[in-house]
Chain A
Amino acid sequence: MRSSAQRALMLGPALVLLAVFMLVPIAIAGYLSFTDWDGLTPNPNPVGWANYQRLLSDVDVRNAAVVTLVITVVGTIGCNAAGLGLALLLNRRNRFTSLLRAVVFYPYVVGPIIIGFLWSAILGADGVIANAVIPVPFLSDPVWAVGSITFVVVWSQFGVNVVLYLAGLQTVPPSLLEAATVDGAGRWQTFRAVTWPVLAPSVTVNIVLVLVGLLRVYEIVLALTGGGPAGRTSTFAFLILSSSFRSNQLGYGAAQAITLMVVIGALALGVTALRQRAEKAVAA
């Protein structure tokens, strides 16, 4: 067989999977978002931009957008601050620090649905804190509940940031750190002048990864609050699945899904571009 034909065959399966299970579904979602389909009737009716217009005035959507925004902004700051802070404290090799690294990291391996159930047994109305410490409506009051979700998300994910920042810290040249010490720079000055500029690309990667991850928080909400009370803790990702399944509004759910996808893409690109400018400024 000719080698160009072989190359095409080697690319083929990956492209077929990508087309069938990613591109075609996105196209279907795009099409459905302009229909009123309920998932039951054989033919969806076209409704133009009605679903997107409805998004703008829907109280549930607005609420989900606010909840998602709070979780994403607070969570991104929390994960990065905790991740960088701990990485700086753990940036030396001994048995104690490698144990600590494992301790902050394990929730990632356990996965969000199980972490969510564990924390709901701790924070719930009949849970550990309510029974043994003080009854706080961690999950039953909407404001507390959004706070609880954000906390659990950060708790379960910042270990990844610790690991990534630790890897970034390995790229700081020891000679520069020594030079700073010789020049009489204090810890903070050394950090500002040496470590922080070298870390700039790590900061970008960490922010983008957390941002993209937090915009799609679903399982922790499902396990902790089920979106309640009264839908007040639904994230955007949660709303998409509940519109589509529980209320049989697949067209409307598709419009929400497409919106989320566009927002994630725009944010990922926007943050990367902004950070690239910051990285260049730091390098100059």
Chain B
Amino acid sequence: MIRRLILLPVVILMVVPAYLLVVNSFKSQQDITQEPFGIPLPRLSVDYLLGALNSPDFSLVKAYIVTALFAVGVNVLSLLVSGPAAYVIARGTRIGHRALLVLFLVGMFIPSQVLVIPVIYVLKTLGLMGTVPGFLLFETTLTLPISMFLYVSYIKTLPRELDEAARMDGAGPFTTFWRIIFPLMKPAVVTAIVLHTIGVWTDFVNPQIILGPASSLYTVTTSVYAAIGKYSTDFTVVYPNLLVAVVPVLAFFVFLQRNIVSGLTTGATKG
């Protein structure tokens, strides 16, 4: 009973913003400001949502596709780069391997606000500023600390006899990793993918600065920012844009809730 009494206000506090987001996406400016909580059935309209979907400046649907492709690209790159490296470090016996792992993990504590400005000059030097490859490479680097952490600690739980057997059969480290070890790493890989997907999806600073308005490539977060801006008080733009931006992510969340939760837990508590 006491539990319910404490939990009820928490639930209300968490759910009310979501409720406001949904109902106000179908209401006129006047209805929103006069009765934000109300549902004026006869005056509800889907026009505002359609407006958010068909904005003349940019397309949220396109932003969705772009962001999803970025998430796929970052996940693939991150796995290709960190998987083999994690294997070498996890099986390494020298002190240098341990130092390398620490070097990767330190990256977790470096705020992207510190990196993003000097990264502009690195990208300019490489001719990659404002380009998709430049953005993907930088974003992939940001995933390395978590990937290395998860993969190294997971590979360490796999018996070394597997490697020995593969070596007897004449396989080098490269083949051993991709043929023998990688297929066993599914739990760690799923965890990493879930965390990196949320990371890419919710990232705002890096796409905003590196891709910039000039590239005309918007992610979901940067297009919502462009649509709403900080001074906008036109709620018939604010609510529908936010709703359209949120619904697919929440669908992803509902489907993968178990994976997300277990991913976060292993990510934060292992080691």
Contacts and interface: CB of A to CB of B under 8 A. Distances in A.
A117 to B, nearest CB: 5
B198 A226 contact: no
B191 interface: no
Contact of A18 (B3, B87, B89, B144): B144
B173 interface: yes
A253 B111 CA distance: 14
A132 interface: yes
Given A18-B103, A132-B36, A167-B269, A103 B117 contact: no
Contacts of A105: 257, 260-261
Interface string A167-188: 1100000000000000000000
Size bin of chain A's contact surface: 35 or more
A104 B250 CA distance: 13
A166 B118 CA distance: 39
Contact of A132 (B35, B113, B172): B35
Interface string B197-222: 01001111100000000000000010
Contacts of A205: 268-269
Interface residues of B, number: 87
Interface in A183-234: 201-202, 205, 209, 212, 215-216, 218-219, 222-223, 226
B78 to A, nearest CB: 9
Interface stretch (A8-16, A50-58, A70-78, A273-281): A8-16
A21 B138 contact: yes
B144 A17 contact: yes
A110 interface: yes
| B contacts with A: majority SS | helix
B254 to A, nearest CB: 8
B114 interface: yes
Contact of B137 (A17, A106, A167, A250): A17
B224 interface: yes
Contact of A29 (B80, B117, B246): B117
A109 B197 CA distance: 10
A17 B140 contact: yes
A10 B238 contact: no
A212 B114 CA distance: 13
A214 B107 CA distance: 17
B6 A25 contact: no
Given A101-B261, A119-B17, A258-B114, A21 B246 contact: no
A18 B102 CA distance: 12
Top 3 A-B residue pairs of the complex, sorted by shortest distance between their CB atoms: A111-B202, A10-B84, A25-B118
6 contacts: A13-B85, A14-B84, A111-B203, A114-B221, A114-B224, A168-B269
Given A18-B103, A155-B14, 12 more contacts: A10-B87, A14-B81, A14-B84, A17-B81, A20-B122, A24-B118, A25-B121, A103-B14, A109-B260, A114-B224, A121-B20, A260-B111
